[in-house]
Amino acid sequence: MLSFKKKERSDRQKAAGHTLHVAAPVQGELIDLSNVADQVFSQKMMGEGFAVVPSSEHVVAPVSGKAVTVFPTGHAIGIRTAQGIDVLVHVGLDTVNLKGEGFKVLIHEGDEVQIGQPIVDFDQQVLRRHSLDATTMVIFTEGFRQKIKVNPKKVKAGDVLIEA
């Protein structure tokens, strides 16, 4: 489970009046961002969030919203929630260098997605062959002000981890 220090909800969250639900993007081991082997994520330079060391190759939307960015390489997808919170799902470390090899994107930019909906599949063997880490991050890049504390545990894709 995740816990977070509750701060004032952002004006966008208040205006939307919706509860934000955030789910695990993939089955695996939930870990704190500070344990990710990339300083951009571990030092939260892109924003607050959490990570999952995957035991599956099927990634689902961690939130409901609109797919505002779908990288052509398939390694990253940005979703904007009804509350105006921007969420980045980033599959693996340095996976942009694969130029799409081993990734199959299941949605398009502009699509409305639902929490738990499949958004991308990836091939862990391809990542291993290139010595890349498959750790998958969920980063709140805009509009989320809470601090997240992760209690490591096994999760399934779609398990709700945060209600804010």
> Hey, which residues are catalytic here?
90
Query: In whole angstroms, what is the distance from residue 68 CA to residue 153 CA?
Result: 30
127 near 139, Cβ under 8 Å? no
Beta strand 153-155 pairing with 2-5 = unpaired
Greatest CA separation for the chain? 47
Residue 58: φ, ψ to 5°: -115, 115
